[in-house]
Every structure is written in C-alpha cells, then in structure tokens.
Amino acid sequence: MSKVFKFGGASVKNPKAIYNLKEIVSSYKENLVIVISAIDKTTNKLELVWKSYLGNETLKSIEIATEIIKFHEAIIDELELNNNAGFLKLFNDLTLELVDYIGAKTKQENNISYSKIVSFGELFSTLIISSYLNKEGVENQWIDAREFIKTSKSATDSSVNWKETKRKINSSLSKGKSYLTQGFIGSNLNGETTTLGREGSDFSAAIFAWSMDVEEVIIWKDVDGLLNADPKWFDKTKVLKKISFKEAIELSYLGASVIHPSTVKPLENKNIPLTIRSFIKKEHEGSSISKLGKDDKSIPSIIYKANQILLSISSKDYSFIFEEHISDIFSIFSKTGLRVHLMQNSALSFSVCGTIALSELSFLISEIQKKYTLKYNEKVNLLTIRHFKNLDIPELFQNQEILIQQRSRSTLRYVLKEKK
C-alpha cells in the first residue's frame, strides 16, 4: 500500500464534488486507502437528531433523520446508483438501523448515543462513494472502520489502542487492493461505536498510514495547502510550502484547523510525509510536512479558534491553588473530555481555555462545582500568533475584549470575547 488519501466533508458535498474526487483517485495507479468524512454539514444535522433523542423528542429526531436520508437518496439518484440492488440493500439497512435506534424506548447514555448517531454520516457517505467509484471502474472495497480502529472505552474523543488496531488492519487488509473507509469513527473492545473528536478524520488517515507503513498521506482540502491563517477569518494568507514535523505539531497543538492535533505525531514516528493539497486546484503542489521540512520563521502563523470555553476555578475557602488542586482539576478534565488549549494560574485561581463535546459540558460544570467555585464564559475565542514579528497585532482583535494575554519568545496568545 503506497498512499492514504483523506477527503473531508467539503470535498464530497454534492455529486459534482464526488465526480471531482473520482478524477483525483483515478489519476493514481497505485493501491490506496481512501478515508472520507461525512458529506458537508451532515454531522451537524445528526447532532440535532441526537439532541432530540436525548430530550425524548422521538418524532422530531425521526423527522430530522428522514431529511438527512432523503438528502443522501437525492445524491444516490444523481449518481445513478438506483439500479445497484446490493448497494441499495446495504444503504436501506443503514437507514433502518438509524431510525430504529432513535425510535427505541430504551435510550443509551449521552456519549454512547452521540457516537452511535453521528457515525451514520460517515457510513452513508462512504457507502455511496465506494459504490459510485466501483460503478465508474475505480475498484475499491468498502470497509467499516469500526472493525479496525480500536479505541478506549470512552465513546467520544477516544484514545487509540494502537497495538490492537495495527493487528486488526494488517491481519485483514491486503496491500494488493484499494480500500475506502470512514474517518472519525472506531469502536471499543465492547463493540460500541466511538468517535475520535470533531475533525478526527485526519487522525483516522494517520492511523491507517501508521499501521500499514505507507509512503505518504495526502489530505485533500478546499485550500491551497497549509496556510499561515484561516481564510475564513483573515485576508492575505500565505501557503507554508515545506515545514518540519516539529513545527506542524506545534501548529496543530496550538489549534491549526487544517491539521487534526493527533494526526502528525504517528506520521513523524514512522517518518511518513504528510501532504496537504487542494481538491479545487489539483495542479498545485500544496504543502509538504516531513522530517526534511524547513520552517520559514519570517511568515507568522495566525490561529483563531472560535467558540471556546473559558473556565476560572478557585477554592471555595479562598485558599491558594496548589499542585494537588491542579492535579485534581485535571482528573476532572480527563474524565469529562475537556481539551485544554491554554492555561493560566494565580495564587487564588486556575484558568483554562479549551473545547469539550456538547454532550459533556453540563457534566464538566457539575463535577467542578462539587469541589470548587467556578466562573465560566462560553463562546470565547482563542487567538494564537506564532513568529509574530512584523505583524500589526491590534488589527487582529478589533471589537473584541482581551480576557487573557500570554507571550513567549515565539508565540503570542489571547483569549478574546466579542464586545457587546
């Protein structure tokens, strides 16, 4: 197996995009593992299904699920897959499984039901695209990632059981075939569906690459490569053409949206190059991340993470925050799945800015408040600037209030909140 390709939701958002994917894949003669996300915005809609499921609004959840199914059926029709009886049976079985699950009288707990419901987005998209590629002569075998990526018991933001995952993949998959599978999802040793965190499809690609010792991973995006800033937030972005694994890990840890934070490390461990290319401008070389990459420190990298949560935690008796308190607080973060992106402490308080699955937010708050006084702000923004020299910094946060500011030799970080 020579390469792993990963296509995100925007690259398969409609039939035209799926035609484009076929052109990309068919231009490569070697065998591939193709990892695909849910079709654009499907995961968001499935989260609405899950919310209604939790609220015992069965009719509403089935109504939203039916809309999702009809949307995929329209794509099936346009791709002319309606004459494929084997495919239609598999697809209809999946749709019935979703409807039966959300309509069941017995409900599963929050994180288990979340992963189960949202996983249908990847299952729908990959089954459709695999069947379409085979119809067009691009041979591939659809596989269920849950049979191969084995994770911890936690249903959301699960950690990977690397040894078992590698054993499953190498004992079942042949290097003489191409496979198409899902990003984002896996299963624990109990067989329950688990998820790797939002945007975890990049990580899925790295897991397959690490397990199979491939030559290269290519992530196909709607941007020209790894940009120094997100064009959704900033104008005049630049492509970082060649960077090192170390710099990529720094950027992903700080929140660079093009790369999932867990993606780079397993590739570095096996020295597998990662290339980020545009599925729109296919002729562009994109960005290469490798051991030989050279970092250009003259180009600042600007990372903007919206919709974060800022927690300020203090003792109920106004005593100092010592190491044992911080250790206890982090055990709560670990239990509830909070991803910490920034920390700051004073004598009386400990503050963190991070992200957490919607399903775990109320649990996090209640667990902290059992032992500590908690103040928190939702919908704050985290701005990080790496290699910040020669940059007009105040322009970046106009109309926002600075809640926290940190500075080191190479990095500036701000927690911001929109002014009312």
What pLDDT, in 10s, does the model give residues 227-277? Answer: 888 877 777 888 888 989 888 888 877 777 667 768 888 999 999 999 999
What is the pLDDT, as a whole number, of residue 293? 74
What is the pLDDT, as a whole number, of residue 166? 97
What are phi and psi for residue 198, nearest 5 degrees?
-55, 140
Structure tokens at 274: 């990662």
Q: Which helix (H) or strand (E) covers residue 185, if one does?
A: strand 185-188
pLDDT at 397 over 90: no
Name the pLDDT band for 122 (thresholds 50, 70, 90).
Answer: very high
Give the C-alpha separation, 273 to 268, whole Å.
8
pLDDT at 387 over 80: yes
Domains in the chain (CATH in brackets) are 3-221 (3.40.1160.10), 301-418 (3.30.2130.10)
What are phi and psi for residue 303, nearest 5 degrees?
-120, 125
pLDDT at 393 over 70: no
Work out the average pLDDT over 50-78: 96
Task: Provide the mean pLDDT of the chain.
Answer: 90
Percent above pLDDT 70 for the chain: 96
pLDDT at 398 over 90: no
The 10 Å Cβ neighbour count of residue 85 is 8
pLDDT at 129 over 70: yes
DSSP letters spanning 215-268: SEEEEEESSSSSBSS-TTT-SS--B--EEEHHHHHHHHHHT-TTS-TTTHHHHH
What is the pLDDT, as a whole number, of residue 198? 64
Name every residue whose Cβ is closer than 8 Å to that of residue 287 and which is 6 or more positions away in sequence. Answer: 225, 226, 239, 240, 241, 242, 243, 275, 276, 277
Q: What letter represents residue 194's amino acid?
A: T
What is the pLDDT, as a whole number, of residue 394? 61
pLDDT per position as a tens digit, 210-232: 999 999 999 999 888 888 888 77
Structure tokens at 156: 């959301």
What are phi and psi for residue 86, nearest 5 degrees?
-65, -45
